[in-house]
Structure 1
Amino acid sequence: MAIANQHPFDSLTPGRILDAIEGLGLWISSEPFALNSYENRVFLLSDDDRQRWIAKFYRPERWSEAQLREEHGFLDELKAANVAVAAPWRDDQGNSLHEAHGFYFALFPHVPGQAPELDNPGHLFAVGELVGRLHAVSRQHAFITRPTMEPLNLAQSSREQVLTGTWLSPRQRRAYARVSESLLQLLSRSLWPSQAAIRVHGDCHLGNILGRDDSFTLVDFDDCVMAPAVQDLWMMLTAQNDQEMRSQLSELLEGYEENISFDRRQLEWIEPLRTLRLMRYSAWLVARWQDPAFPRAFPWVAGEEYWDQHIRILEQQRLVLEKPRWLA
């Protein structure tokens, strides 16, 4: 009998993980080592040839089979064009997406290395060049089943996710409702045209870029969608003042434009995208709270201080949107 409130991932035991992978004809010589991944469950393993693998078990009902296969096809397309990405392993029948114990899963080659250092101009140039190579390929076609990023709809759904929960005190609820409504109005002024959307990585932060020296590889395309090119660049801009940010941007775009031109008008969408990410992050934590991994990893979300800080950050972002910086 199923245990009440049991999360689907609770059934993903080490034995079932090994059973699923060895069912593909691979002999695993190590216990699965869980990596820091919360949306899916991701494990590091070694086979009997000492090759290291990443096994990703996808969160049920998040993406359809067609959407997962489209992600894998995109990765194969990029790999064929010599873009440094971690493409999925395929079996003798050419299948990259497998199913076991109620989960879709895939195997990826382990990518060693570290994240780029964003105060290193050479690293910024290399990352820009890598993303430029990605976009030179990605803009040749469009996704069919993967969604298009729609900032206003995503911000609205994030707002509703937070406000319909029990996370906020009456004071916080009033403050969050007020600032989030202001942000929605400001975001409505920053919508990009549909023709600006291309296939993007979608979650191009430091944890998804690994390598050594000035050579990097993009991993984890789980959030790939249709969106403007700047979505894969803006998270590299971490400087705290405009002068340093312009310096980062200069190196990033110099590398990017080794492969493809960049429309500087997209720089106006950086702060709207940052705003959207801030709103979506808290809504994501709320939406996933029934997954036992989330209360363990993010216990502070249940505290009043977290929401006070979140509201302050959104207030600061409102001021930025009202008076955007000019980076070009």
Structure 2
Amino acid sequence: MNDDSDIPSRDDTQGISPAFSFAALTPDCVLDALESVDLYSDGRLLALNSYENRVYQVGIEDGPPLVVKFYRPQRWSDAAIREEHAFVDELAAAEIPAVPAMQIAGSSLHTFAGYRFAVFKRRGGRAPELDDAATREWLGRFIGRIHAVGMTKPFAERPTLDIASFGEEPRDWLLAHDCIPADLREAWQSVTAQALEGVRRCYERAGDVKLLRLHGDCHVGNVLWTDAGPHFVDFDDSRSGPAIQDLWMLLSGERSEQRLQLTDLLAGYEDFVEFDARELYLVEALRTLRLLHYSAWLARRWDDPAFPVAFPWFNTQRYWQDRVLEMREQIALMDEPPLWPA
């Protein structure tokens, strides 16, 4: 269970001061929380790589280790967390290898000392070898199976990935909180305005694409591979959006390499779900939105002591200079023809 790359959700728009947050979540508190649901540790406790939430592997008496996730307060409503859990339960019921939250005393979500938490079975694995065509096709089939379930009904409590919440609101928040150095503010504001115009043009070219329930943060760090194949972890950013959102983050390298990767992914994907090629107009638009959202996420979390340690390069003059250049590159990329399969 690894959520180190979480990007903030719609529910983050008010900002959260994490000073309250995880300071009281001591090892004793973690173990006491588990005991409150009749799970007893053998004393082994390992903090896993996680920033948005806090995630631990805990040794259990007379049983295999479990993973417990403590949710960042105020980020999601209880109903939204339960809806995520229900989605993963649907996937598991369809024999899709995802890791659902355990049902304990009739519930997947629990509270202790003001914290909300869920417990998961530990599922190990290694990073997938994305340079292998067969691996990419297998991943495509897996994502297609997830989407076949995801399109059966909509989310009611979880947000939609859109320009307003992933682009305009983060941009406005960063400006309102004076996050941009004064000598770069005008350039950054101008280039992000141009970038968002480019995003809107990409959406116009794509037209009215179908929205479905997604993993939402489908990058290689959230895929674990075993001899039996892949399984995804960390559905914490699950939301509604276009299918391509769960595919584009698995592409890398030069354009020619990405075309081959996309071909393999779609070859597997379309064994289960037909892909709407118009969504390829959204690849660079979605990348642009993610980049804007990521900067705002780091800024919102900067009071959390874990963030300056993990991201020491953030909020420096060089960081914002690089973001200006990055947005200029994205503006050019969004005006290029879409990435068609080979």
- Is TM more than 0.5 here? yes
> Helix, strand or coil: the match of 2:41?
coil
How far apart are the structure 1 equivalents of 2:77 and 2:211?
21
Question: In structure 2, do the counterparts of structure 1 residues 194 and 292 end up closer, same or farther at CA, with 3 Å as the change threshold?
Answer: farther
Deviation at residue 63 of structure 1 after TM alignment: 0.4
Give 1:76's aligned residue: 89
> Helix, strand or coil: the match of 1:299?
coil
- Which of 302, 326, 329 is residue 313 of structure 1 equivalent to? 326
Question: In structure 2, do the counterparts of structure 1 residues 101 and 312 end up closer, same or farther at CA, with 3 Å as the change threshold?
Answer: same
How far apart are the structure 2 equivalents of 1:210 and 1:326?
27
Give 2:130's aligned residue: 118
How far apart are the structure 2 equivalents of 1:5 and 1:82?
38
Say which is worse superposed, 17-26 or 31-40, in terms of deviation: 31-40
Q: Does 1:39 align with 2:49?
A: no
Aligned residues: 323
Give 1:137's aligned residue: 149
Deviation at residue 171 of structure 1 after TM alignment: 2.3
Q: Which runs of 5+ in 1 are unaligned?
A: none
- 8 Å contact from structure 2 (residues 158, 240) kept in 1: yes
Deviation at residue 213 of structure 1 after TM alignment: 4.1
> Helix, strand or coil: the match of 1:313?
helix
Deviation at residue 310 of structure 1 after TM alignment: 1.6
Displaced runs of 4 or more, over 4 A: 192-195
Superposition pairs for residues 237-256 of structure 1, below 5 Å?
237-240=251-254, 242-256=255-269
How far apart are the structure 2 equivalents of 1:94 and 1:116?
35
- Which of 264, 268, 278 is residue 281 of structure 2 equivalent to? 268
> Helix, strand or coil: the match of 1:300?
coil
How far apart are the structure 1 equivalents of 2:75 and 2:187?
31
Deviation at residue 97 of structure 1 after TM alignment: 0.5
Q: CA RMSD in A?
A: 1.7
Letter in 1 for 2:270: E
Give 1:228's aligned residue: 242
% identical aligned pairs: 41
Give 1:13's aligned residue: 26
- Which of 155, 160, 163 is residue 167 of structure 2 equivalent to? 155
| Greater relative contact order (CA < 8 Å, ≥ 6 in sequence) | 2
How far apart are the structure 1 equivalents of 2:313 and 2:41?
37
Deviation at residue 32 of structure 1 after TM alignment: 2.3
How far apart are the structure 2 equivalents of 1:293 and 1:248?
35
- 8 Å contact from structure 1 (residues 272, 321) kept in 2: yes
Give 1:146's aligned residue: 158
- 8 Å contact from structure 1 (residues 29, 47) kept in 2: yes
Give 2:73's aligned residue: 60
Deviation at residue 309 of structure 1 after TM alignment: 1.2
Question: In structure 2, do the counterparts of structure 1 residues 195 and 182 end up closer, same or farther at CA, with 3 Å as the change threshold?
Answer: closer
Give 2:119's aligned residue: 107
Deviation at residue 11 of structure 1 after TM alignment: 0.9
How far apart are the structure 2 equivalents of 1:190 and 1:51?
48
Question: In structure 2, do the counterparts of structure 1 residues 186 and 83 end up closer, same or farther at CA, with 3 Å as the change threshold?
Answer: same
- Which of 207, 221, 228 is residue 207 of structure 1 equivalent to? 221
- TM-score where L is the length of structure 2: 0.90
How far apart are the structure 1 equivalents of 2:239 and 2:18?
31
- TM-score where L is the length of structure 1: 0.94
Say which is worse superposed, 161-170 or 93-102, in terms of deviation: 161-170
How far apart are the structure 2 equivalents of 1:283 and 1:214?
38
Q: Which runs of 5+ in 2 are unaligned?
A: 1-16
- 8 Å contact from structure 2 (residues 209, 278) kept in 1: no
1:266-285 per-position Cα deviation (integer Å, ceiling 9, x unaligned): 11111100111111111100
How far apart are the structure 2 equivalents of 1:326 and 1:78?
30
Letter in 2 for 1:257: E
How far apart are the structure 2 equivalents of 1:301 and 1:29?
39
How far apart are the structure 1 equivalents of 2:267 and 2:273?
10
- 8 Å contact from structure 1 (residues 88, 107) kept in 2: yes
Deviation at residue 294 of structure 1 after TM alignment: 0.8
Letter in 2 for 1:321: M
1:7-38 per-position Cα deviation (integer Å, ceiling 9, x unaligned): 31111111010000111111111332111111
